Amino acid sequence: MSTTAPVGTGPRPTIVLVGHGMVGQRFLEALAERGLTATHRVVVLCEEPRPAYDRVALTSYFSGKTPEDLSMTDMAFIEKERIELYVGDPAETVDREARRVTAKSGQVFEYDILVLATGSYPFVPPVPNKDAEGCFVYRTIEDLLAIEEYAKTKATTGAVVGGGLLGLEAAGALKGLGLGAHIVEFAPRLMPVQVDDGGGAALLRTIENMGLTVHTGVGTQEIVTDESGAVTGMKLSDGSELATDLVVFSAGVRPRDQLARDCGLTVGERGGITVDEQCRTVNDPHVFAIGECALAADGRVYGLVAPGYEQAETAAATIAADEASFTGADLSTKLKLLGVDVASFGDAHGATEDCLDVVYSDSRAGLYKKLVIGSDGTLLGGILVGDAEAYGTLKAFTGSVPPVSPESLVLPAGAGEPAQLGPSALPDDAIICSCNNVRKGTIRGAVTEHKCTTVPEVKKCTKAGTTCGSCVKVLGQLVNAELEASGVEVDKGLCGCFGQTRQELYEIVLALRITSYQDLLDRYGREGARGGDGCEICKPAVGSIIASLAPTLGASGYVLDGEQASLQDTNDHFLANLQKNGSYSIVPRIPGGEITPEKLIVIGEVARDFGLYTKITGGQRIDMFGARVEQLPMIWARLVDAGFESGHAYGKALRTVKSCVGQTWCRYGVQDSVRMAIDLELRYRGLRSPHKLKSAVSGCQRECAEAQSKDFGVIATANGWNLYVAGNGGATPRHADLLAQDLSDAELIRLIDRFLMFYIRTADRLERTSTWLERIEGGLDHVRDVVVHDSLGICDELEKLMADHVANYRDEWAETINDPEKLSRFVSFVNAPDTPDPLVSFVPERDQIKPDLPLLSIGTRPLEGTATR
């Protein structure tokens, strides 16, 4: 590696970090930012078999995130900063006298500075049989893998000991694994630390409605096992017994301070390595402790990641001889458990003298909101259950008197005055991102000084929004407000002809029932574009909007009718895919990838008779290449005759719904995935959308059809279907997100109807579902609110639009070959209809044809010139 030599002479001083968890990783980043990785040798001992990962998002493993997705460690960073990272090699002893750490492998490291970031371990109450087979904790990826394995093979019911934040998350995960799930909580309510009785009651109702069984006010006395030593149940303190095959202990965590104890460092009464405000241990100036293993100067051990990050920054700053201190942190939390928002911030329990509560509660809707207000009107804290929209704003105002009445922020819209408070009302020193301690002023600076213009840029520049994500919405509003204020004109227009976005044009077309592109251009186009010919960007985009709304608008849905014909990209214009030498390829629809031998033979015969190149596509169908324009109608006449229809491979429309063979043949299958795939493909065929749509259906969790890489993917469960959305393969792969679970056939189809129509309505031009979901405000949660909970009240309309589409579907090719006028378009030359284009020619390769492109060499310039454009 070519890095410049460290400054100074002699060997570099050594920093040894023990523990590569979330806080340890942040500490390394802080070292690098301060240039300490250049001046110091940095050694990291990592106990777990994988480098640092996002523990906060651990549970998302069960909704499809892979361990790689969760990783927080960029190996390029480790290498570039010349950090020595020893994975799977924990520190065993520390000799403070000799300043030496010995690792399990026997390696010995001498240190100038030792940083302990060993985190916590889950507390397991000392009940009999607590180590029985089937008992687990919930802390690491390895724990989750073990739980998943056991749940799949040996359990139908699971119980979680502990109804706190982690316990609820674990219970949700068990339910997601298909187990009947119980929560046993000793306190009289759920999440006793974060919420009060009222909030606990709202939470309880919602959680029970989801099919989880909650037992509060009871303790676990004993784990019951069978002869083989496997869990069969648990005895509770009220004398009852609960049958369960799997137990997850989630009864709190304890600091991992054993290493520190063993080398004589002071620890707190209830654990935690005692440190000062600089995060330095009180006994030894060479040793620091940060994160969950540290007992901070304010006498608390923080079990949240944000304070840990602050400690990491403080320790790094202190090492760099900068001034910094950690004097305590905010314990605000916002999380989403099984789709329920729960947030608490500031003095949530009203401990301040003379404080007053403002409470809004609607048990039916599972809503509970409480604000704690000081006698002078200062907002001190609060609890939000069921709807935490206002969390970001409220938290930022905590400690000050908000400019509007706090009640207006928690009352539902419509009741009283609507909340008018945007983040622009916040002072510059308000903390917007508490995970990363980023203030409003810093975010504004990112826009005004560092010239960031988008949320992703601001995230990168300030780190705001990169941890739990709960602040991203406020972040977006701030960035937009700042851009507007600084006069940066953000032109979101579709193209040079329209100042509106695709979504705005969609709304205009739908509301005003506009069926003509020219009409739209002349009335709503940019000044200079009205009356003109538009462009190649807006024509197909508007064509697609009109086509997808055609039945509702009363327009013709047929893409070659009237003006529509002039709007289509060449692919849509010839209902085939243009290839590089000017020839076309043909893809008949093969729903679900299921095809009879007779039809296979027809494809073979057609390809042979017209001399076409054939290839099986990734979407489980057959592509025939090398047809000239004038051959398309003849080829399709034969295909239509044999019962084929257009596969829309040429359009921004539904492509295929892949399937595995499923229950019918596969010994693992739990549902008929082929039938479902065919039903879906036939339902959505021909649907014009902002970009192509791909789908797949798998017959069980083994996922042979790769449904999680599709725009909408369906995976069978014992109880029905799980629906995943916004996945993508290709150049920017994205794992799909779970939208809803265990749906019946009808529920599944209704939800997909809504999802697709909502996407078509709100996406930008050429925006796949994956980028759309990442872009739109509120992301997956918002989409779920809209399509599952009908929060905008538009689901009826979305369903109606889809019903119109389904009822009005016609096969474009069958229609074309029966219309002599349209057929007349399928010629190479208007003045010589029978002459084929002499520039389209082929040469043999591997017993088939390929385009003959010697002509390229006569071109005015080489092709590479265009590739980099």
Partner 1 sequence: MTLAPETTDLKVQLLLDGTGDWFTVCDLALLTPGRGVAALLPDGRQAAIFLDRSGRLYAIDNRDPFTGAAVLSRGLIGSAQGRPFVASPLLKQRFDLESGKCLDDDEVAVTAYEVRSAGVAV
Exposure string over 517-544, b if 16+ CB within 10 A, otherwise e: bbebbeebbbeebeeeebbeebbbbbbb
Beta carbon nearer to ligand SF4, 307 or 727: 727
CB of 630 to partner 1, least distance (A): 11
Cα distance between residue 729 and residue 732, in whole Å: 7
498 binds partner 1 (CB under 8 A): no
- CA distance readout (Å), 605 to 365, 813, 814, 832: 62, 19, 20, 28
3-state helix, strand, coil in the chain (%, to 5): 35, 20, 45
- Could you say whether residue 433 binds ligand FES (CB under 6 A)? yes
- Is 467 a binding residue for ligand FES by CB under 6 A? The answer is yes
Nearer to ligand SF4, 176 or 308 (CB): 176
707 and 715 Cβ atoms separated by less than 8 Å = yes
Nearer to ligand FES, 58 or 635 (CB): 58
Q: Is 660 annotated as a binding residue?
A: yes
CA distances from 372 to 102, 345, 756 (A): 50, 10, 42
- Which position among 700, 725, 773, 802 is part of the footprint of ligand SF4 (CB under 6 A)? 700
The amino acid at 185: E
Q: Residue 829 touches which of ligand FES, partner 1, ligand FAD, none (CB < 5 to 8 A by kind)?
A: partner 1
User: What is the Cα–Cα distance from 649 to 766, expressed in whole angstroms?
Assistant: 15
Rounded Cα gap, residues 462 and 451, in angstroms:
12
Q: Which of 175, 116, 173, 186 is nearest to 144 (CA)?
A: 173
Which of ligand FES, ligand SF4, ligand FAD, none lies near 465, with the C-beta cut-off 5 to 8 A by kind? ligand FES
556 binds partner 1 (CB under 8 A): no
- Residue among 458 and 705 whose Cβ is closer to ligand FES: 458
CA distance 365 to 214: 19
Which of ligand SF4, ligand FAD, ligand FES, none does residue 698 bind (CB under 5 to 8 Å by kind)? ligand SF4
For 472, counting Cβ atoms within 10 Å of its Cβ (0-12 exposed, 13-18 middle, 19+ buried), the class is buried
Asked if residue 636 lies in contact with residue 817, where contact means CB atoms within 8 angstroms, the answer is yes
**Non-local CB neighbours of 522 within 8 Å, separated by 6+ positions:** 530, 531
Nearer to ligand FES, 348 or 678 (CB): 348
Q: State yes or no: 700 annotated in a binding site.
A: yes
Q: Which is nearer to ligand SF4, 577 or 663 (CB)?
A: 663
- Tell me which amino acid residue 710 is: K
Q: Is the dihedral of CA 300, 303, 308, 309 positive or negative?
A: negative
With CB cut-offs between 5 and 8 Å by kind, which of ligand FES, ligand FAD, ligand SF4, none does residue 700 bind? Answer: ligand SF4
471 binds ligand FES (CB under 6 A): yes
Measure the N-to-C terminal CA separation of the chain; round to a whole number of Å: 33
Q: How many CB atoms lie within 10 A of CB 418?
A: 11
Residue from 176, 199, 271, 308 binding ligand FAD (CB under 6 A): 308
Task: Pick what 582 binds: partner 1, ligand FES, ligand SF4, none; C-beta below 5 to 8 Å, kind-dependent.
Answer: partner 1
Cα–Cα distance for residue pair 823/797, rounded to 1 Å:
37
Q: Which stretch binds ligand FAD (CB under 6 A): 217-225, 232-240, 305-313, 342-350?
A: 305-313
Q: What element of type H or E holds 552? A: helix 538-553
Site for partner 1 (CB under 8 A): which residue of 219, 532, 729, 779? 532
Q: Which of 32, 394, 464, 660 binds ligand FES (CB under 6 A)?
A: 464
In what helix (H) or strand (E) does residue 442 lie, and over which residues does it extend? helix 440-448
Which tokens is 217 given? 């006010």
Of these, 208, 536, 609, 790, which contacts partner 1 (CB under 8 A)?
536
According to the binding rule CB under 6 A, does residue 696 interact with ligand SF4?
Answer: no
Give per-residue burial for 88-107: e unless 16+ CB within 10 Å, then b: ebbbeebebeebebebeeee
Specify whether the CB–CB gap between 172 and 338 falls below 8 A.
yes
Per rule CB under 6 A, is residue 666 in the interface with ligand SF4? yes
**In angstroms, rounded to a whole number, what is the distance separating the alpha carbons of residues 648 and 656?**
9
Q: Pick between residue 664 and residue 744 the one whose CB is nearest to ligand SF4.
A: 664
Q: Which residues pair with 345 in a beta bridge?
A: 382
Answer yes or no: is 433 a known binding residue.
no
Could you say which residues in the range 672-691 bind ligand SF4, by CB under 6 A? 673
Q: Of ligand FES, ligand SF4, partner 1, none, which one sits near residue 342, judging by CB under 5 to 8 A according to partner kind?
A: none
Residue 706 in contact with ligand SF4, rule: CB under 6 A: no
| Three-state secondary-structure class, residue 604 | helix
Of the candidate spans 36-44, 214-222, 429-437, 540-548, the one that interacts with ligand FES by CB under 6 A turns out to be 429-437
Q: How far is the CB of 173 from ligand FAD (least distance, A)?
A: 9
Q: Identify residue 662 by its one-letter amino acid code.
A: G
Cα distance between residue 800 and residue 552, in whole Å: 9
Q: Which does 522 bind (CB under 5 to 8 A by kind): partner 1, ligand FAD, ligand SF4, none?
A: none
In this structure, are strands 213-216 and 220-225 parallel, antiparallel, or unpaired? unpaired
Residue of the chain from 30, 31, 91, 177 that contacts ligand FAD (CB under 6 A):
91
Query: Toward ligand SF4, which CB reaches closer, 152 or 261?
Result: 152
Sole binder of ligand FAD in the list 22, 42, 315, 660 (CB under 6 A): 22
**Which segment (157-165, 349-357, 375-383, 428-436) binds ligand FES by CB under 6 A?**
428-436
Residue 458 CA to residue 450 CA, distance in Å, equals 9
Q: Which of ligand SF4, ligand FES, ligand FAD, none lies near 18, with the C-beta cut-off 5 to 8 A by kind?
A: ligand FAD
DSSP codes, 243-304 = E-SEEEE-S-EEE--HHHHHTT--B-TTS-EEB-TTSBBSS-TTEEE-GGGEE-TTS----S
User: Phi first, then psi: what are they for 31, rounded to 5°?
Assistant: -60, -45
Q: Which of 284, 594 has the CB closer to ligand SF4?
A: 594
* Number of neighbours of residue 144 by Cβ within 10 angstroms: 20
Contact 393, 474 (CB under 8 A): yes
* DSSP-assigned beta bridge partners for residue 86: 45
Tell me the window of 52-60, 222-230, 683-691, 814-822 that interacts with ligand FAD (CB under 6 A). Answer: 52-60
With binding defined as CB under 6 A, does residue 331 bind ligand FES? no
Q: Please, which residue, 466 or 701, has the CB nearer to ligand FES?
A: 466
Interface segment toward ligand FAD; rule CB under 6 A; list 118-126, 184-192, 670-678, 780-788 = 118-126
Residue 17 CB, nearest approach to ligand FES (Å): 23
> How big is the chain, counted in residues?
869
Residue 666 counted as an annotated binding residue: yes
C-alpha span between 307 and 458 (Å, rounded): 22
Of 16-24, 355-363, 545-553, 783-791, the window that binds ligand FAD (rule: CB under 6 A) is 16-24
Residues 742-761 that bind partner 1 (CB under 8 A): none
* Site for partner 1 contains 868 (CB under 8 A): no
Handedness of CA 667, 668, 672, 677 (dihedral sign): negative
Closest CA to 42 of 275, 238, 319, 237: 319
Residues 838-857 that bind partner 1 (CB under 8 A): 838-840, 853, 855-856
Q: Which of residues 173-202 bind ligand FAD (CB under 6 A)?
A: none
Per CB under 6 A, residues contacting ligand SF4 are 660-662, 666, 668-669, 673, 698-700, 702-704
Q: List binding-site positions for siroheme.
A: 704
- Contact positions toward partner 1, by CB under 8 A? 496-497, 518, 528-529, 532-536, 539-540, 563, 565-567, 569-571, 573-574, 578, 580-582, 824, 828-832, 835, 837-840, 853, 855-856, 858-861, 863, 865-866, 869
| Site for ligand FES, rule CB under 6 A | 433-436, 464-471
Q: Using CB under 6 A, list all residues that contact ligand FAD.
A: 18-19, 21-24, 45-48, 55-56, 58-59, 90-91, 117-120, 138-139, 166, 169, 256, 259, 291-292, 303-306, 308, 333, 335, 468
